[in-house]
Structure 1
């Protein structure tokens, strides 16, 4: 034995992503219409592609100088099983997925079809 100690590192990867279950049960455009945020941004979903789980939408907002901006977005929604598979293929051993209320994330929220986002906590 060489007398060297092996070091074991663990890592946590914590992120949020769009919940692929949400657009299967709800209109994304209706959600955007009712979800105007405090900054005054407005969202208009042009189309949702069920085959690619992508939402093509336009976000408009006014900056602090009063200038209006228009951003064309292409956002990908992910199924919980997809996230689980991706992370396991990268060597993460413990993967937890929770429901996420926009701006309020908690491990106490079970993921449902009502959650627009999901919180993912993975550990290596």
Structure 2
């Protein structure tokens, strides 16, 4: 996500480049970190309770790498699959998206210019 600014992403998208938002492009890294933190919390509690030694904890962490990788990649694949399906249906739902944008604007929660969103006429 550091390769493009938000405006750059929008411009690329307007010229046919298929890409995700930066938070989706980073989701596998975040998911990996979440797994790692949660596993370490669980295992560290076992080390503190003297039910697991630190070397055994470290060995177990290393042994879990492939399984965590598989879980993360499966989640990431499914996220992208869901996004792709929604994208295919988006043209038929442009009116509801336009209404949502107008609603957010009327509530002062969105500024199209700041977000580089198209006008109603462009939509």
Higher relative contact order (CA 8 A, sep 6+): 1
TM-score calculated relative to the size of structure 1: 0.26
Q: Which has the larger radius of gyration?
A: 2
Larger helix fraction of residues? 2
TM-score calculated relative to the size of structure 2: 0.26
Larger strand fraction of residues? 1
